[in-house]
């Protein structure tokens, strides 16, 4: 979580983020066509299959991509607006996981009240000092940090569903051999990327309630990489508990990729077909060509690359992240690949862009998505 150390990990912060995400759901719930949208989540997997097999949808999505495959969402088209509404509903299945919300409360005022009531106790937890080791958190502090994990997951779900709804990512968890870089504590990479949202309508006497839940899916094998020593104990525990499904490496990216390369040869781990860098720190990718060459050593002949950037700790860091994506996009194009870049913010100067994310709060949301179907022979 280095990139968000400035954020107040407190009950107040958590409650405010929940309220902001819930408000977006309330706005969608008050819009025409909401009933049709939410019914798609009774069996979302089947809905996605139908949608992606629809030639008209494919034609419409192709029309979203400009000549340079950059999707500017500052003034969304009707199709983009629908995709974003669907992605936000999917994200809220995680946000409200386990909750049952009365249909009369599915509006901005009603959801504010629901979140306010649920936050009444947690909001009292003061800011958690960054120097406190996770093993020494009090019970209320652990509750706040679990809530922060959920918020990180909400952003992850939203990003992945945007890519899936656009037909860019279709790989199933059971087919995924994943490499995730800069993972923090690893929660979102393990439990957010492949999550299946579900929202069921339940009748209870005279009332109708919407039950929010998610179905957990996990990649067949995931390699997690983060060099922050704060995660060493957690990574060691993951390696013990998830042996055979997870390899968590508390080292630099280059050293970790070398280790993975050896394990692929000696332990017959499969080559990676999914590479993920969520809200990446631009300093992790000082040179896009070197980065691509590095991951070429461990990927299959083809692999999905998913990268996102956040706000950074300040404007200078945000500008560094934008420059990183500029260079990565240009490199992929020069290599003859077809990257897609989705801008999830308003227009204007860097400061204006940073102040206008499409979703969520600055500290926890993604500002841009970069997707590319990699071909190993092109990036070696």
Domain with residue 167: its CATH number is 3.40.50.150
Residue 342: pLDDT band with limits 50, 70, 90 = very high
As a whole number, mean pLDDT of residues 100-126 equals 92
Q: How many CB atoms lie within 10 A of CB 4?
A: 19
- Residue 8 has a pLDDT of 53
Question: Quick one: how many helices (H) and strands (E) in the chain?
Answer: 14, 11
- Residue 6 has a pLDDT of 40
User: For residue 3, is pLDDT > 80?
Assistant: no
Q: Cα(100)–Cα(51) distance, rounded to whole angstroms?
A: 27
Residue 324: pLDDT band with limits 50, 70, 90 = very high
* Range with lowest mean pLDDT among 61-65, 156-160, 229-233: 61-65
As a whole number, mean pLDDT of residues 44-65 equals 92
Domain encompassing residue 25: 2-379
Closest CA to 278 of 254, 305, 303: 305
Distance from the first to the final alpha carbon of the chain: 31
User: To the nearest whole percent, how much of the chain has pLDDT over 70?
Assistant: 98
pLDDT, tens digit, 9 for 90 and up, residues 139-150: 888 888 899 899
Residue 221: strand, helix, or coil: strand
Two structure tokens written together for 14: 């958590």
Q: Cα(67)–Cα(239) distance, rounded to whole angstroms?
A: 44
pLDDT, tens digit, 9 for 90 and up, residues 162-206: 999 999 998 899 999 999 999 999 999 999 999 999 999 988 777
Two structure tokens written together for 374: 């990699």
- Residue 130 has a pLDDT of 73
The domain total for the chain is 1
Which range, 4-18, 72-86, 309-323, is most confident? 309-323
As a whole number, mean pLDDT of residues 342-350 equals 96
């Amino acid at each position: 979580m280095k990139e968000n150390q400035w954020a107040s990990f407190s009950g107040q912060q958590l409650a405010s983020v929940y309220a902001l995400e819930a408000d977006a759901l309330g706005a969608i719930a008050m819009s025409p066509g909401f009933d049709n949208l939410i019914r798609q989540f009774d069996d979302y997997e089947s809905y996605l299959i139908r949608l992606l097999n629809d030639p008209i949808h494919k034609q419409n999505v192709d029309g979203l991509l400009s000549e340079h495959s950059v999707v500017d969402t500052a003034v969304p088209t009707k199709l983009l607006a629908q995709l974003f509404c669907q992605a936000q509903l999917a994200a809220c299945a995680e946000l409200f996981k386990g909750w049952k919300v009365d249909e009369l409360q599915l509006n901005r005022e009603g959801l504010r009240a629901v979140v306010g009531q649920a936050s009444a106790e947690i909001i009292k937890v003061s800011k958690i000092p960054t120097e406190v080791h996770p093993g020494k958190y009090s019970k209320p502090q652990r509750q706040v940090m679990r809530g922060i994990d959920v918020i990180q997951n909400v952003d992850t779900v939203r990003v992945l569903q945007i890519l899936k709804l656009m037909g860019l990512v279709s790989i199933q968890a059971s087919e995924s051999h994943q490499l995730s870089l800069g993972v923090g504590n690893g929660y979102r990479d393990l439990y957010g990327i492949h999550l299946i949202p579900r929202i069921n309508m339940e009748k209870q006497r005279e009332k109708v309630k919407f039950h929010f839940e998610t179905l957990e899916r996990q990649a067949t094998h995931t390699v997690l990489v983060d060099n922050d020593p704060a995660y060493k104990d957690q990574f060691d525990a993951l390696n013990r508990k998830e042996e055979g499904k997870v390899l968590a490496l508390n080292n630099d990216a280059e050293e970790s990729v070398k280790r993975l390369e050896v394990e692929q040869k000696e332990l017959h781990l499969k080559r990676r077909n999914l590479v993920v860098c969520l809200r990446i720190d631009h300093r992790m990718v000082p040179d896009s060509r070197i980065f691509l060459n590095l991951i070429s050593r461990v990927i299959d002949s083809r692999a999905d690359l998913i990268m996102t950037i956040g706000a950074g700790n300040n404007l200078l860091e945000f500008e560094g992240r934008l420059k990183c994506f500029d260079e990565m996009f240009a490199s992929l194009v020069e290599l003859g690949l077809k990257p897609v870049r989705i801008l999830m913010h308003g227009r204007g100067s860097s400061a204006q862009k940073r102040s206008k994310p499409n979703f969520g709060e600055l500290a926890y949301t993604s500002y841009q998505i970069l997707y590319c179907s990699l071909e190993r022979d092109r990036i070696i």
